[in-house]
Structure 1
Amino acid sequence: MATQSDTIEGFGQVSRRAGIIFRYLLMGATMFGIVTLAILLVYVANDALQPLTADPGWYLVFFATLVAPATLVGAYLARTNLDALKLGALVVGTLAVTLMFSGGAAILFVDIVPPLVSLSYAVGLVVPFAAVVLMTKYEDQIPFTVRVAATGAIFFLSLFGIPGYYHSIPEMVQKIPVVPTEWVIVTFLLGGGVSVVVGLYFARLRENTRAGVVAGVAALAATGLFAVSGLFTGVNPTALAVVTAGAFVPTAAYAGGAALTREHERVGLLFAAVVIFGALVGAVAVDVLGFAGPQSWVDWQFLTSSHSGTAENAGLYPAIGGSILLMITVAALSFPLGVGAAVYLEEYAPDNVFTRFIDVNISNLAGVPSVVYGLLGLGVFVTYLGQATGTVLIGGATLALLILPIVIISSREAIRSVPSDMRQASYGMGATRWQTVKNVVLPEAFPGILTGTILALGRAIGETAPLIMIGAPNVLFSLPTELSSKVSAMPLQVYAWSSLFASEDFYTKAVPAGVVVLLAVLLAMNSVAIVLRNKFESES
């Protein structure tokens, strides 16, 4: 055993004192960074939310209905059953995050993409997918090359058709003379998809097909009932259908599944119920009693209005919609390319000078400043290919180039973490390399791939420099509706408020509010990645 200061040959001097000092120095540096960041965030949040402007009665009501009951229940669970408390907190967090994302989906379905267009493309995808499933069933009788060619041809003809000869399926669906109302389409399209997932989830939990059918029908019925309630309450029924299918139903399904399968922890659902119902009761009580809440700049008007010359009337709505379209484009471009490149480099590429050169360049590209990718997008897409500046497609392609190295690196690490024994077992069963990759490697690596992709998207959604370089407008007054439409984004809008419209009002009102909204989205995306990583790590 080493004493206070011993010397070991070939290793040097071993000192406990030096190790203790080094540990506390690291702890001090970490705490300094955390405290400094917390002070900055509190300062910005105070400007945006203005919590001290609320009536004392408002605080008293929420203390009585939310804070005190949640603290008591949480303290009891923390002492008696910490896992149950974690379950309850996860249900609350799931509801908060899914509400945020389903709100973005509501923007997409209500104001950007008409529900009939979504339905037409859904039908257009169902037909080729059914054909692919049918061909897979007879894959032993159909050559691989024929299957690949037929799959590509079916998808192309279904989605795009042949101009002048054959209309695509989406075009034919959109020309139907009589169509359901928008909320009915969304209820059956989005609510139906979620209900299928919920049904499969409960069928697997209960090992009973009937239980799955009942759960799926209940999920679809709940979506429809909430949408119908919008017709009587004045709330947009299409938006209600989206929020119900995207937030309420998945959260309720997760809580119900936990109640059925986690007997020791399901008491934690009491904590979730106290928080959710306490917040609702508090909101109703302050409205009835007439207590004014904080005069926050992050309110419904800010989230649903476009830019204005005055900070009090300025809103972030077109920028939020633009960020949503950009992230969809980025994910569609970067995910298949990044994962495909990772699979090739890890499973197929030979170990030679050329592949090592590629490895070094991918690692270097991951650290290149974002403004360089903006210049690349400007030079390639705008100057060389002659595309219009600042559109959804060009912005998405530029941001996809930015995160592509990150997606490749994270996907390669996830693929590399799959034990080689699993590959060898697959080969020993007579599987080909492609079958091994498809059935063994990718399913095992998918959680890590998904986590890395979400974190990469979190970086892309906060970038401003690439969008400035490709000529994206700083301010838009309407939502983009096509890939060729001009697009702005949340960080670009905040940048415009802090530079082009620099004034005391914008600095203390609109800019902090925009920063808080952007940080909330980033934290929500990162929390999803963390939860997925922890879930699959615990299962492995």
Structure 2
Amino acid sequence: MATDTESGYAEGFGQVSRTVGTVFRYLLLAATMFGIVTLAVLLVYVANDAIQPLTADAGWHLTFFLTLVVPTTLVGGYLYRRNTDALKLGSTVVGMLAVAVLFSGGVAIVFVDIIPPLTGFSYAVGLVIPAALTVILTKYERQISFTPRVAATGAAFFLSLFGVPGYLHSIPELVQKAPVVPSDWVILALVLGGVAALVVGQYIARIREDATAGLIAGVAALVVTGLAALLGPLLGYDSNSFVVVTAVAVVPTATYAGGAALTRKRERIGLLLAGTVIVGSLVGAAAVDLLGFAGPQSWVNWQFLTNPHSSSAERAGLYPAIGGSILLMVTVAALSFPTGVGAAVYLEEYAPDNRFTRFIDVNISNLAGVPSVVYGLLGLGVFVTYLGQATGTVIIGGATLALLILPIVIISSREAIRAVPQDMRQASYGMGATRWQTVKNVVLPEAFPGILTGTILALGRAIGETAPLIMIGAPNVLFSLPTELTSKVSAMPLQVYAWSTLFASEDFYTKAVPAGVVVLLVVLLAMNSIAIVLRNKFESES
């Protein structure tokens, strides 16, 4: 037998050799390592130009080595030897806090600078009222048929958000015209803190199986968010920004850590790693400030993240481009997600197997591999030339990028739907459910993790695209944030492209360009990490 000797002959396979298989395996390993090492060298080279760690004082390095690196290594090594699950928990908490802080900055840009807090609050109120009506109608689904419920829900949302021009004001209009309105930090605490409180309350109620505990936790989360507005100025931070960071990053991370401590008794020692990293970072920062050690002369600093473009590399910033990228991704997600998932559901659950659907399948697969510049030309021809829309706006850029990732969303969603076992569908039909009820209650919940993962990865591709935005006439440089869907918009890749071409100089090449690349890569890695965590979480639960 070929499996018992170094070499042999197997019918249907020809000559079989362990040596050849071993050589092939190590060749694959070598090719993989070569790619990884090459990419790592490139990233280190770019990060070194952007952060310049060697420009820091030796005392700065020594301080963080003693307060952060050594304790983290010791705790991590102990957990690795004793309890790897606890190590994963601690690493997850640290990663969750880092990614949440990153995204809280994006939320602050949207709800503080782009959308005035009062406007956001008015639309939040306008959404709460019809949402409450929807919940009430759902409780009476046995008494009220499906069509009237859908009609009533749609009418409630439309009238609440838009009203009847000339006859009935919308809820947002009435809220904004109120004679007395709360201050910005109160609005942010109510809106974002309310969302955080709802999520925290449901999470605690689920893990404790106690609605009262969930209510108490939700109220506590809302109170902590409100107190952040008072604590922020004492620490030298703006009240509005501190409220956003607390609601988006601190409260969810602390809730997850607390829930893990209650439910995962064997792994909760891993929270020691998270505490070591957080405390070590804070102690190290306080120590170097007290001792007067200078840190790295990094180009990725607060000024770079909050300044607009400048003709000088030392004063150039990425702020309008960051805000533009956020608005583009929100628009892309709003356009591509429902369309892509809807198309996937139809093709997998409803479409007949005939020549027409097979023709559509082939074309969707082909469209996923079309170069992005072609989609830019498509957006220019359809949205700008044919429909007569202005070039380079948020809505046109978002629609073009949505076309770019739509085939990817459809394919990933179809794969997730196809992975749902056929037995689950048959069981649903056997219980008397209709096809729509089976899709809604069985197929989509089971396939949602895969759908969400594929969509996030597709958005990660869209955020790094430059060619489509160039083709639709998006400006390379903006000096202010876009505030409407019809506003001109730039993006991080476009800004980096402008620095490396239109403003090509030694300073921009060695300072602004590497810093912009690092920021873009951090955002991409954060989005991909969310997709990976969601995939692993739902796979472990299935």
TM-score range, shorter-chain basis? over 0.9
Match of 2:391 in 1: 389
The equivalences for 1:275-286 within 5 A come to 275-286=277-288
Distance 1:199 1:151 in 2: 26
Q: In structure 2, what residue type is equivalent to 1:472? A: A
Residues 385-416 of structure 1, C-alpha deviations (whole Å, 9 max, x = no match) = 00000000000000011011111111111111
Match of 2:492 in 1: 490
Match of 2:445 in 1: 443
Match of 2:481 in 1: 479
Task: Quote the offset at 1:133 in angstroms.
Answer: 2.1
Match of 1:36 in 2: 38
The equivalences for 1:368-517 within 5 A come to 368-517=370-519
- TM value normalised by structure 1: 0.99
Match of 1:48 in 2: 50
Kindly indicate whether residue 378 of structure 2 is the aligned counterpart of residue 341 of structure 1.
no
Distance 2:69 2:146 in 1: 62
Distance 2:213 2:138 in 1: 29
Q: Which range is displaced more, 222-231 or 77-86? A: 222-231
Kindly indicate whether residue 135 of structure 2 is the aligned counterpart of residue 138 of structure 1.
no
Match of 1:85 in 2: 87
Distance 2:85 2:352 in 1: 47
Q: Which range is displaced more, 149-158 or 280-289? A: 149-158
Distance 1:146 1:270 in 2: 54
Distance 1:212 1:244 in 2: 19
Task: Quote the offset at 1:229 in angstroms.
Answer: 1.5
Q: In structure 1, what residue type is equivalent to 2:301? A: D
Task: Quote the offset at 1:152 in angstroms.
Answer: 2.2
Distance 2:168 2:497 in 1: 47
Distance 2:233 2:278 in 1: 25
Kindly indicate whether residue 115 of structure 2 is the aligned counterpart of residue 113 of structure 1.
yes
Distance 1:478 1:280 in 2: 33
Match of 1:241 in 2: 243
Match of 1:287 in 2: 289
Distance 2:149 2:253 in 1: 39
Match of 1:229 in 2: 231
Task: Quote the offset at 1:490 in angstroms.
Answer: 0.3
Q: SS of the counterpart of 2:332?
A: helix
Match of 1:352 in 2: 354
Distance 2:221 2:151 in 1: 38
Distance 2:287 2:529 in 1: 31
Residues 282-320 of structure 1, C-alpha deviations (whole Å, 9 max, x = no match) = 000000000000000000000000000010100000000
Residues 227-277 of structure 1, C-alpha deviations (whole Å, 9 max, x = no match) = 111244442111111110000001000000000000110000001100110
5+ unaligned residues in a row in structure 1: which ranges?
Answer: none
Q: SS of the counterpart of 2:9?
A: strand
Distance 2:150 2:263 in 1: 42
Match of 1:316 in 2: 318
Kindly indicate whether residue 65 of structure 2 is the aligned counterpart of residue 63 of structure 1.
yes
The equivalences for 1:116-127 within 5 A come to 116-127=118-129
Q: In structure 1, what residue type is equivalent to 2:288? A: V
Residues 39-93 of structure 1, C-alpha deviations (whole Å, 9 max, x = no match) = 1101000000000000000011001100000001111110011111111011000
Q: Which range is displaced more, 340-349 or 506-515? A: 340-349
Kindly indicate whether residue 21 of structure 2 is the aligned counterpart of residue 19 of structure 1.
yes
Distance 1:9 1:423 in 2: 41
Q: In structure 1, what residue type is equivalent to 2:287? A: A
Distance 2:203 2:142 in 1: 31
Distance 2:500 2:165 in 1: 48
Q: In structure 2, what residue type is equivalent to 1:21? A: V
Match of 1:156 in 2: 158
Q: In structure 2, what residue type is equivalent to 1:127? A: I
Task: Quote the offset at 1:146 in angstroms.
Answer: 2.6
Query: Structure 1's 502 and 483: CA in aligned 2 closer, same or farther, altered over 3 A?
Result: same
Distance 1:198 1:282 in 2: 31
Match of 1:270 in 2: 272
Q: Which range is displaced more, 415-424 or 228-237? A: 228-237
Match of 2:214 in 1: 212
Q: SS of the counterpart of 2:8?
A: strand
Task: Quote the offset at 1:130 in angstroms.
Answer: 1.9
Match of 2:78 in 1: 76
Q: In structure 2, what residue type is equivalent to 1:48? A: A
- Seq. identity, %: 80
Q: Which range is displaced more, 144-153 or 99-108? A: 144-153
Residues 520-539 of structure 1, C-alpha deviations (whole Å, 9 max, x = no match) = 00000000000110111111
Q: SS of the counterpart of 1:179?
A: coil
Q: Which range is displaced more, 9-18 or 459-468? A: 9-18
Task: Quote the offset at 1:165 in angstroms.
Answer: 1.5
Distance 1:203 1:92 in 2: 24
Q: In structure 1, what residue type is equivalent to 2:533? A: V
Q: SS of the counterpart of 2:193?
A: helix
Q: SS of the counterpart of 2:154?
A: helix
Q: In structure 2, what residue type is equivalent to 1:364? A: N
Distance 1:186 1:511 in 2: 34
Match of 1:172 in 2: 174
- TM value normalised by structure 2: 0.98
Distance 2:472 2:155 in 1: 34
Distance 1:91 1:231 in 2: 27
Distance 1:231 1:100 in 2: 21
Q: SS of the counterpart of 1:463?
A: coil
Residues 308-350 of structure 1, C-alpha deviations (whole Å, 9 max, x = no match) = 0010100000000000100000011111101111111111111
Distance 2:33 2:463 in 1: 28
Q: In structure 2, what residue type is equivalent to 1:20? A: T
Distance 1:519 1:287 in 2: 29
Task: Quote the offset at 1:4 in angstroms.
Answer: 1.9
Residues 194-238 of structure 1, C-alpha deviations (whole Å, 9 max, x = no match) = 111101111111111221122112111111111111244442111
Q: SS of the counterpart of 1:537?
A: helix
Distance 1:532 1:173 in 2: 37
Task: Quote the offset at 1:140 in angstroms.
Answer: 2.9
Q: SS of the counterpart of 1:291?
A: coil
Distance 1:138 1:209 in 2: 23
